[in-house]
Amino acid sequence: MHKAKDTWSQNKSTFVFEEGKLTSFSKESNFESSHKVYKDGKAGIHYHIGKVDDEEGYAKAEENLVRERPYPFELETGTRTRDKREHVLTDKELQATAESCMKYLNETYPKFRCKVTFTGTEFERRSVNDLGMDYGVQDYAVGVSGTFKHLDSKNIDDGYFGFNMRDFDEKVFRQVMDDYLGQYENRVELPEEIILDVLYYGLLGFFTNHLNGEELARGTSLFTGKIGEKLFSEDFTLLHDVSDKEAWFNPFWDGDGCVLENDQLTLVENGVLKTGFADKKTAKEYNIPHTGPAYHNFSDIPGAGGLSLKIKRSEKTVKELLNGSLCVIPVDYTPSGYNEKGEYTMVIQNALLFDGEKILGRLPEFKIATTAYDLFGKDFIGVGSDQPVYYDKQLLVRVNRV
Amino acid sequence: MDYQFRFPKDLYSEVRIEEYYRIWLAIQNGKVENDGESAEVGAMVRVFDGNMWYTATTNSLEEIQSQLDALAAIAAPNPNIYEHPIVKEFEVNRDAILTFDTEQDIRKVPRNQLKEILDGYVEKCIDPEDKDVTFWVTSIGGEHEKRRLITSKGTDVAWDTQCCSFSMFYGFTVDGVTSYGGYNTVKMTMPELLGLEEKVLNKKAQYLNYAKNAKDIEPGDYECVLAPVVTAMFTHESFGHKSEADFMLTDKTLAEEWVLGKKVGSEKITICDDGSLVHHGYVPYDDEGTKACKTYLMKEGVLTGRLHDAKSASTMGEQKTGNARAQDYHKQPIVRMTNTYMEAGTDKLEDMIAGIKDGVYVMDVSNGTGNSTFVMNPTLCFRIRDGKVCEPIRVHMLTGSVFQTLFDVDAVGDDFELFDSYNCGKGGQMVRVSAGGPSIRVKKLSIS
């Protein structure tokens, strides 16, 4: 019998500002563990929220062998640690920084009601087993998130924003607020051609679903039988990337304990579908190559998932990619999600017009429609080398107004 | 358990202790995909000095006192704290309502029973020879929750709730395109999840019909009939969120827009919220210790009430409603809905449909959002032509203006249902709610 243990801890300090003033301070300390035993191709697992000593944890995991959860695989044995922390703020430092940011916001934009949360999060993940595996990662970031509403608006909120920084810079906060609010009262018309400039995480779910090895193997993926085909734009390359500095609080190993070469798996390269993804269990069941990743599961055996997707950035800035055109930055929108054919619509209730360097004004409400093939194919423009407005990676893409 | 806390002087303090037990099982294409359970105990400790809330969370109940002391050390003592308008609003209640401390308590359900229930459904609802089905997954689960709030003002209330869920989803692959659909439900006890085979197979047939025959529809405005499950979401998203008072506290524009007594919808519409109903949004005492009550939000189209926590009630000079809810011990309470529904009317579904020349019958929906424009994502729609329900149609979104659509409801059915399968997100917190309503007809909704 072999033993393994996963632990996760997160310590958070949060300052909340409502109607311009500090209304609450919270301290949160979370710890979770998963004790696992492996015997005769089965796994016994005990998931615990809060502290538990190892003797009790492994004993309960052993009792759980009765569930007969299959895990007929060799355990991994690597050792490595990664520390992505840059500048960890004390509570007093974070409070002073947050109050300074809010002073600027309140004084510069008195016509807006904002609720803003500043959260310092320190994170640690570790996985060990009795064959010698010892992986660990630490991270720290200050997350700023909030909603804003113009005092004359009949909406509950007019928009929302959020970004993370490992070394908090107040100048970035000010710039983000200036971009969102500075030209908000200036109403402008929609351009003839609509180019969306959006955070793309929500748009990549199509690949998460249809590149899953299980879906590919059983024929329920739109990509079944299409590996090796050029389906998307020459400029579109999609990776699962756990090395990414822009990914937050993520381990570099997967739920099976596997580590990718260069911490990356290329799924689409220059528009060509290269591979789906499969964890050990899926690979065995469908007799397909094991690529990883497997999602981390503290309460059961892992399965295929846990992708950290990234579109390869262009060498050009957002401004250069726009090449003189204007783009739309949605600040309050509701997407439909993809339907079974890959079609996608979005109601954009509030948006800003952007030229790649400065915000020009606020746009009227409108709807757009597109498909996954168009988004990452003929209508794909790129992901800029810089990250204006959002302070995060953003996709430029042409869409149809409906 | 008997707790004796030393509450700090000149501060309002409270301790909210929560216990959770969860159990779940999923079978996918004949194999157990997930099989787990978890138990969790945690507490939120809060201290209020009149200006700020100071909070801490812990999974170790023996740390509660030290957390209280630590928070008190950074708060500013306020000798008049019990005269503060918010603190004055806090009720003092002492009660224990353990509704599920019975044989129906899911903590007493053997894990093997979940497998037996699912195996029964698989036997009756899965045909291995059925070529239309390329994928299926069925799941069952339960969560028991117990909350106890103890405050420095003297409140000590404890209550429990639970929910049990079942789903059976199918994948149908037609011409290389796989669409998914099926049946899911949430009830309060495990026995209520038995005997649903006919409903499962009925939904399967509807989604198979959709997969094989759904047509695209020209985007535009259509007269629509909404099934009860869709009305439930419409009620929650289009109006429910506007009834949460916390968004208008310092907002003159919104306070004027939503002034009590104003006509905001059709006289056929009456909407209530009631946390005392033993359904998915059951909250006999909210997370500030206020006892639940039934609140009429709209009566015959006129705005008659709104949902409050202590802060919004004291600020607006209105009655508390027991709607201060926190997702769990990691979160502070904010104003939330509980069990929110549109009351039944007298119209018949068949009459509503018969009165439409060209429209859409929206039969099922997955999710939605609500702002001035509300959005719902339907999963099952049919074209109505000359008063008859015709072919299934593919609809991505259903949208409308809150300010207009409530006036556009011209028929309210007598087929009321309350659905326990909803969860509501707001301010980064997800809470259980139920939503309900009858079939309704709306003169115009935007379809895309």
- pLDDT at residue A373, rounded to an integer: 97
Judged against a pLDDT cut of 90, whether residue B250 lies above it is answered with: no
Distance, CA of A117 to chain centre? 19
CB contacts, 8 Å: B399 with chain A: 347, 367
- pLDDT at residue B249, rounded to an integer: 85
The answer, for B16 touching chain A at a CB cutoff of 8 Å, is: no
Q: Any idea where the domains of chain A sit in the sequence? A: 2-181, 194-202+314-401
CB contacts, 8 Å: A28 with chain B: 56-57, 330
Judged against a pLDDT cut of 90, whether residue B252 lies above it is answered with: no
- Identify the helix (H) or strand (E) that includes residue A23: strand A21-39
* Residue A295 phi, psi dihedral angles, 5° rounding: -75, 150
Judged against a pLDDT cut of 80, whether residue B185 lies above it is answered with: yes
- pLDDT at residue A246, rounded to an integer: 83
CB contacts, 8 Å: A341 with chain B: 177
Confidence of residue B372 (pLDDT cuts 50, 70, 90): confident
Q: Is the Cβ pair B250, A19 closer than 8 Å?
A: yes
Model confidence over B7-22: pLDDT tens digits? 999 999 999 999 999 9
CA distance A108 to A114: 12
Closest by alpha carbon to B73, among A309, A243, A25?
Answer: A25
Task: Return averaged pLDDT per consecutive 10 residues of chain A, 402 residues in all.
Answer: 97 94 95 97 96 96 96 97 97 97 97 96 98 98 97 93 97 98 97 96 95 95 96 98 90 98 97 98 96 97 95 98 98 92 94 98 96 98 97 96 91
CA distance A225 to A11: 46
CB contacts, 8 Å: B22 with chain A: none
Q: How many CB atoms lie within 10 A of CB B413?
A: 25
**Among A236-250, B147-161, B406-420, whose mean pLDDT is lowest?**
A236-250
Q: Which two three-digit tokens encode residue A180?
A: 């969102």
CA distance B160 to B144: 7
State the complex-level ipTM: 0.92
Q: Is the Cβ pair B55, A30 closer than 8 Å?
A: no
Judged against a pLDDT cut of 80, whether residue B200 lies above it is answered with: yes
A201 three-class SS: helix
Confidence of residue B370 (pLDDT cuts 50, 70, 90): confident
Judged against a pLDDT cut of 90, whether residue B183 lies above it is answered with: yes
Closest by alpha carbon to B233, among B347, B397, B388, B352?
Answer: B397
A297 three-class SS: coil
CA distance B411 to B373: 21
B49 close to B75: Cβ distance less than 8 angstroms: yes
Chain B, 99 to 138: residues with Cβ < 8 Å from chain A are 111, 134-135
The answer, for A99 touching chain B at a CB cutoff of 8 Å, is: no
B179 close to B379: Cβ distance less than 8 angstroms: no
Distance in Å, alpha carbon of B332 to nearest chain A alpha carbon = 9
Q: Which of B330-352 are b and which e, b meaning 16 or more Cβ less than 10 Å from the residue's Cβ? A: bbbbbbbbbbbbbbbbebebeeb
DSSP string computed for B257-290: HT-TT-B-S-TT--EEEETTSSSTT--SB-TTSP
Domains and CATH numbers, chain B: 12-213 (3.30.2290.10), 216-447 (no CATH)
- pLDDT at residue B373, rounded to an integer: 87
CA distance B261 to B301: 10
Percent of the residues in chain B that have a pLDDT greater than 70, as a whole number? 100
Distances, alpha carbon B178 to alpha carbons A218, A303, A339, in Å: 11, 21, 10
Instruction: For residue A210, give the chain B residue with the closest CA.
Output: B178
Q: Which two three-digit tokens encode residue A87?
A: 């500048």
Q: For residue B53, give the nearest of A23, A30, A402 by CB distance.
A: A23
Place of tokens 């928070």: B71
The answer, for A189 touching chain B at a CB cutoff of 8 Å, is: no
- pLDDT at residue B141, rounded to an integer: 97
Percent of the residues in chain B that have a pLDDT greater than 90, as a whole number? 92
Opening angle at CA A199, ends A240 and A363, nearest 5: 165
The answer, for A108 touching chain B at a CB cutoff of 8 Å, is: no
B316 three-class SS: helix
Flag whether the pTM goes above 0.90.
yes
Q: For residues B396-402, give the mean pLDDT.
A: 92
Confidence of residue B371 (pLDDT cuts 50, 70, 90): confident
The answer, for A400 touching chain B at a CB cutoff of 8 Å, is: no
Q: Identify the bridge partners of residue B40 per DSSP, sorted by sequence position.
A: B20
The answer, for A245 touching chain B at a CB cutoff of 8 Å, is: no
Instruction: For residue B35, give the chain A residue with the closest CA.
Output: A300
Model confidence over B61-72: pLDDT tens digits? 999 999 999 999
Q: Is the Cβ pair A45, B35 closer than 8 Å?
A: no
Model confidence over B312-333: pLDDT tens digits? 999 999 999 999 999 999 999 9
Q: Is the Cβ pair B57, A27 closer than 8 Å?
A: yes
A364 close to A330: Cβ distance less than 8 angstroms: no
Q: Is the Cβ pair B57, A155 closer than 8 Å?
A: no
CA distance A351 to A333: 8
B57 close to B329: Cβ distance less than 8 angstroms: yes
Instruction: For residue B55, give the chain A residue with the closest CA.
Output: A26
A371 close to A341: Cβ distance less than 8 angstroms: yes
3-state percent helix, strand, coil for chain B, nearest multiple of 5: 25, 45, 35
Distance in Å, alpha carbon of B414 to nearest chain A alpha carbon = 31
Q: Which CATH class is domain A2-181?
A: alpha beta
Chains A–B, number of C-beta pairs less than 8 Å apart: 138
Chain B, 248 to 267: residues with Cβ < 8 Å from chain A are 249-254, 257
| H helix runs in B90-160, sequence order | 111-125
